[in-house]
Amino acid sequence: MTAKRFDAIVIGAGQAGPSLAARLDAAGMSLALIERKFVGGTCINSGCMPTKTMVASAYAAHLARRAADYGVALSGPVGVDYKRIKARKDKVTNDARSNLESWIAGMKGCTLYRGHARFESANTVRVGDDLLTAPKIFLNTGGRAAVPDLPGINDISYLTNSSMMDLDVLPGHLVVVGGSYVSLEFAQMFRRFGSEVTVIEKAPRLASREDEDVSAAIKSIFENEGIAVHVGADDIAFAKQGDDIAVTFSAGKPPAVGSHVLLALGRVPNTDDLGLDKAGVTLDKRGYVVVDDQLRTNVPGIWAMGDCNGKGAFTHTSFNDYEIVAANLLDNDPRKVSDRIEAYALYIDPPLGRCGITEAAVRKSGRRALVGQRPMTRVGRAVEKGETQGFMKILADADSGEILGCSVLGPGGDEAIHCVLDLMYAKAPISTLARATHIHPNVAELLPTIAQELKPLV
């Protein structure tokens, strides 16, 4: 079979893939974009867009139940119509996917192939009956939910973040195994929809990559909403119990018996079925594609972007990967991954916005540092909104004034964090934030105040 020749092949139509395809197309290149399932990847189909749409519904239900706190009278108890919630979520996803498909169709030099791509050599890829070749190949294959081999796991029906999107009934009791970002968003969401919810986490605290004060605040938020939280769980196992599922953990504690079980125990890269060995591409011990600071693999002409390279697990880091590749390849702009400042959000309510390094990491570094903190109970905007759970914390280098990191757990935390993140990219010292005049009333207006009140980290 004669291979079809292109200037470039992009494998995966998640966040980075179509954006890079558009740049290559605009540069006059011919290219093949390969997608085995839905264009848009995790973000559009089972991640950011559908889950945050559901988070919005959950927030509306929660606020309605608190109507009396704001002097608003409702005529009856607040309930949810889960089928309508799902339909709204599906529309958001389907509209976004349709718009993306139309964008791709408008790229004159781009051919979209539907199917599973497998390498046959370093520059040749097979998709079904089609053999494609190009001197430049870009991996953008993403990741999927990890399913550890826990006792009894094969005897039950369980949900992952993806299959949760297809669920069309409201669980009576959702048992969430895992206590990190995905699990926490689903746990609070379904509690607000009306499900009983139990969270089981093997680590000693929730969101264990965060500082202990952040983890403790999240646990308090959850328990205030009636979510049962079990941390430090070990010996997790599953068994059918009639129509339900029993999740055992930690000797001496009764099992959590739920109607549904969600496994949220991390992610694995989609690299195990691409034939990368035939291309000679190196993977690390966890299966991630090994790349350099400009996202090049060990094989000339092959790059890796997004979740499959282990350099980030977010839509925004995937998009930045595309920007780095395009800048180096097309713009003679030597951008690199190490220029990126870690930043992300946890979309519980109130949300957590994070950038830079944690207090624990600062302490471990041994550098002299300053810290400032303010609870949301002392933030006027939070008090006015009746949403005073959480706090803000800023860390800075005591000698240089460099901003090291920030956590904003509170109303608008996912937005307010950018006040600090942008200053970090500008390499502005903490004194710049301290002298800023922010709009009143606003959650972010207290960031300069905190910057003025920093004390030595001891």
Q: 438 catalytic, yes or no?
A: no
pTM (2 decimals)? Answer: 0.95
Mean pLDDT of the chain: 97
Name which residue leads in pLDDT, 19 or 250: 19
- Of 87, 111, 103, 126, nearest in space to 15 by CA: 103
CA atoms within 13 A on the CB side of 273: 10
Asked if 305 contacts 295 with a C-beta cutoff of 8 angstroms, the reply is yes
pLDDT of residue 2: 86
Across 282-295, average pLDDT: 98
Question: pLDDT (tens digit, 9 = 90+) per residue, 125-173?
Answer: 999 999 999 999 999 999 999 999 999 999 999 999 999 999 999 999 9
Tell me the per-residue pLDDT of 303-318, one tens digit each, with 9 for 90 and over. Answer: 999 999 999 989 999 9
- pLDDT reported for residue 352: 98
**pLDDT of residue 1 exceeding 80:** no
- Digit-coded pLDDT (tens) for 432-446: 999 999 999 999 999
- 117-121/124-127 β-pairing: antiparallel
Specify whether the CB–CB gap between 196 and 174 falls below 8 A.
Answer: yes
Q: Which long-range contacts (CB under 8 A, 24 or more apart) does 333-336 make?
A: 334/294, 335/294, 336/293, 336/294
Three-state secondary structure call for residue 363: helix
pLDDT of amino acid 245: 98
Looking at the predicted structure, is the pLDDT value of residue 244 above 90? yes
With 80 as the cut, is the pLDDT of residue 284 above it? yes
Would you say residue 341 has pLDDT above 90? yes
| pLDDT-above-70 percentage for the chain | 100
Q: Are 363 and 395 in contact (CB under 8 A)?
A: no
| Set 62, 230, 316, 440: catalytic member | 440
Pairing of strands 173-177, 302-304: unpaired
Distance, CA of 312 to CA of 137 (rounded, Å): 20
Torsion of CA 192, 197, 201, 207, to 10 degrees: 10
Question: Using CA atoms, how far apart are residues 445 and 419, in angstroms rounded to an integer?
Answer: 10
Give all domains of the chain, ordered by start, each with its CATH number: 4-144+268-339 (3.50.50.60), 153-265 (3.50.50.60), 343-453 (3.30.390.30)
The 10 Å Cβ neighbour count of residue 170 is 18
d(CA 59, CA 62): 5
* CB 175, CB 200: distance < 8 Å: yes
Residue 252: pLDDT band with limits 50, 70, 90: confident
pLDDT tens-digit profile of 47-86? 999 999 999 999 999 999 999 999 999 999 999 999 999 9
Neighbours of 203 (CB within 10 A): 15
Evaluate if residue 186 carries a pLDDT over 90: yes
Dig out the tokens for 256 from the structure: 């959590």
Mean of the pLDDT values across residues 378-395? 98
Which pLDDT tens digit goes with each residue over 218-239?
999 999 999 999 999 999 999 9
What was the pLDDT predicted at 251? 78
Contact 103, 18 (CB under 8 A): yes
pLDDT tens by residue, 86-130: 999 999 999 999 999 999 999 999 999 999 999 999 999 999 999
